[in-house]
């Protein structure tokens, strides 16, 4: 645990008692603060009370009196579409509002660091798509190189649940826009921006607010190095804002598909090859085509971002290449679940929006596509240019019929459930085809989260393949 500093003997209100909220309460207590906990959910309050924390109804008049700071969990809106009533009251009283990320950055460094040979460093990764894979890949590369490393944030543990830093350790954080928009301290040593596509727009008041939340990691944080994906206009804008000119190697530009030669430092992937260029010449190249844990152009972009971040930490190209080859990928993100009779079954349940689904569809040929769930604004009409490899779609969930209307003449079947979709796709798939779950929708109509949806897909695949094996026997 990282004890929170600066609030010993003072009252700190904590709103939201999920994973990060409870971790925050423990860290505040360890730092000597008096934590006042509240969640609108009775179940969440009961869980906190079972752990020994008293809860205080922060909605009551006067409940925030004497509070030094209000710490808010990431799922609770602080501005758009409207701030939570407790946050609005804190604004009205002039009480600072922060989150666990802000507390982490102000509390992580300690006097113990004075005795370290190598100062611990923090790498923070944000963006719309690929940030989980990029974060996990950086952690994997560092671990394979024998570097002490911890991973937290929007993946794995809450940031305040981390262990105190060791000599030379690297902490890799995945940070969502919900986390970066509110943190009052953001000081990573290396910051990574993967890409930007529309998502969470109601939470941020539109695309500009969404980008502004991501940009805070760089504008507020002032990292020593910035790794910036420049395949979208926002990334090019951000790279330009941070650099003193094209030769400024404090900014490492990253692309999947575009050759970047005229910059002080760039890493890009083209035709399946990663290339690193510095000061006008190529210094390294890696063949990514046969790395099973990183299929498709979107994962090649993730590999470029992770490669660039690890190069800033002193790792060499060859040790990074070896670690890339041993990376197994993350569950629910282009995860190879099974292969039978020349048919591959791939779980990309994390493809919850059109952009991430498009990347998954571009990663494979001859696809039996399982899609659907709780569709987002605009549905899947924007996927039309990316359906050329789809042999047939199997549509599930709340938006199945809406999606069917948006895919035109593409062969499809409304299956409603995952069980039927997997069974029908497996029955009709031929050697060389991929049965791909890339829903392009949220999961909340049938599952509590995308992980459970992916787990159901995996279970149904194994069920069907087990039955096929039994029938063959």
User: At a CB cut-off of 8 Å and minimum separation 6, what does 360 contact?
Assistant: 296, 298, 334, 346, 348, 351, 436, 438
Average pLDDT, integer, range 45-69? 94
Q: Is 129 annotated as a binding residue?
A: yes
pLDDT of residue 283: 96
Predicted confidence band at 356 (pLDDT cuts at 50, 70, 90)? confident
Ordered structural domains, the chain, with CATH: 11-98 (3.40.50.720), 111-325 (3.40.1190.10), 335-472 (3.90.190.20)
Q: By C-alpha distance, which of 440, 425, 329, 319 is closest to 376?
A: 440
pLDDT of residue 471: 55
CA 262 to each of CA 161, 199, 248, 303: distance values in angstroms, whole numbers, following the listed order: 42, 32, 11, 21
Average pLDDT, integer, range 291-312? 92
The DSSP result for 380-403, as a single string, is TGGGGGG-TTEEEEEEESTTHHHH
pLDDT of residue 222: 87
Could you give the CA distance from residue 244 to residue 20 in angstroms, rounded to a whole number? Answer: 37
Q: Is 128 annotated as a binding residue?
A: yes
Tokens 């993100």 identify what position? 333
Mean of all residue pLDDT scores within the chain: 94
Average pLDDT, integer, range 355-366? 90
Q: Which residues are 256's β-sheet partners?
A: 269
Predicted confidence band at 468 (pLDDT cuts at 50, 70, 90)? low
- Each residue's pLDDT tens digit, 373-431: 999 888 999 999 999 999 999 999 999 999 999 998 999 999 999 999 999 999 999 99
Q: Is 154 annotated as a binding residue?
A: no
Average pLDDT, integer, range 178-191? 96
Q: Is 256 annotated as a binding residue?
A: no
- Predicted TM-score (pTM) of this structure: 0.83
Residue 290 confidence (pLDDT) above 90:
no
Q: Is 127 annotated as a binding residue?
A: yes
Q: Is 146 annotated as a binding residue?
A: no
Q: Is 132 annotated as a binding residue?
A: yes
Residue 460 confidence (pLDDT) above 60:
yes
- Strands in 225-229's sheet, in edge-to-edge order, are 149-153, 170-174, 121-126, 190-193, 225-229, 251-256, 265-270, 273-278, 281-287
Q: Which residues are 343's β-sheet partners?
A: 340
CA 268 to chain centre: 21
Q: By C-alpha distance, which of 277, 272, 285 is closest to 254?
A: 277
Predicted confidence band at 292 (pLDDT cuts at 50, 70, 90)? confident
Are 307 and 190 within 8 A, CB to CB? no
């Amino acid at each position: 645990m990282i004890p929170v500093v600066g609030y010993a003997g003072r009252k700190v209100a904590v709103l939201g008692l999920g994973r990060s909220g409870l971790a925050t309460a423990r860290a505040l207590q360890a730092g000597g603060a008096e934590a006042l906990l509240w969640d609108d959910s009775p179940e969440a309050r009961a869980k906190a009370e079972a752990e020994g924390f008293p809860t205080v109804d922060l909605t009551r008049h006067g409940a925030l009196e004497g509070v030094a700071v209000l710490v808010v969990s990431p799922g609770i809106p602080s501005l758009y579409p409207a701030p939570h009533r407790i946050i609005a009251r804190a604004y009205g009283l002039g009480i600072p509002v922060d989150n666990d990320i802000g507390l982490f950055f102000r509390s992580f460094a300690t006097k113990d660091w004075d005795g370290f040979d190598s100062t611990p460093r923090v790498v923070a990764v944000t963006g719309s798509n690929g940030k989980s894979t990029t974060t996990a890949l950086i952690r994997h590369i560092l671990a394979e190189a024998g570097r002490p490393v911890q991973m937290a944030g929007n993946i794995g543990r809450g940031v305040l649940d981390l262990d105190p830093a060791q000599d030379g350790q690297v902490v890799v954080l995945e940070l969502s826009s919900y986390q970066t928009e509110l943190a009052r301290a953001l000081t990573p040593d290396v910051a990574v921006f993967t890409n930007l596509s529309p998502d969470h727009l109601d939470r941020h008041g539109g695309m500009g607010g969404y980008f502004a939340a991501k940009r805070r990691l760089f504008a507020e944080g002032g990292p020593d190095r910035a790794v910036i994906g420049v395949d979208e206009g926002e990334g090019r804008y951000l790279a330009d804002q941070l650099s003193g000119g094209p030769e400024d190697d404090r900014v490492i530009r990253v692309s999947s598909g575009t050759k970047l030669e005229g910059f002080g430092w760039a890493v890009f992937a083209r035709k399946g090859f990663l290339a690193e260029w510095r000061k006008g010449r190529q210094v390294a190249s890696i063949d990514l085509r046969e790395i099973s844990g990183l299929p498709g152009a979107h994962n090649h972009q993730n590999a470029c971002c992770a490669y660039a971040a690890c190069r800033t930490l002193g790792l060499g190209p060859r040790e990074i290449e070896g670690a890339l080859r041993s990376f197994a990928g993350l569950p629910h993100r282009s995860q190879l679940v099974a292969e039978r009779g020349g048919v591959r079954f791939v779980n990309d349940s994390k493809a919850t929006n059109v952009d991430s689904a498009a990347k998954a569809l571009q990663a494979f040929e001859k696809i039996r596509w399982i899609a659907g769930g709780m569709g987002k604004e605009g549905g899947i009409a924007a996927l039309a240019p990316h359906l050329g490899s789809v042999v047939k779609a199997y549509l599930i969930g709340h938006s199945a019929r809406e999606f069917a209307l948006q895919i035109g003449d593409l062969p499809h079947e409304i299956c409603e459930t995952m069980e039927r979709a997997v069974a029908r796709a497996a029955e009709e798939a031929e050697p060389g085809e991929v049965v791909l779950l890339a829903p392009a929708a949220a999961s909340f109509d049938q599952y509590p989260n995308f992980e459970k949806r992916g787990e159901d897909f995996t279970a149904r695949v194994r069920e069907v393949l087990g039955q096929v094996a039994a029938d063959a026997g």
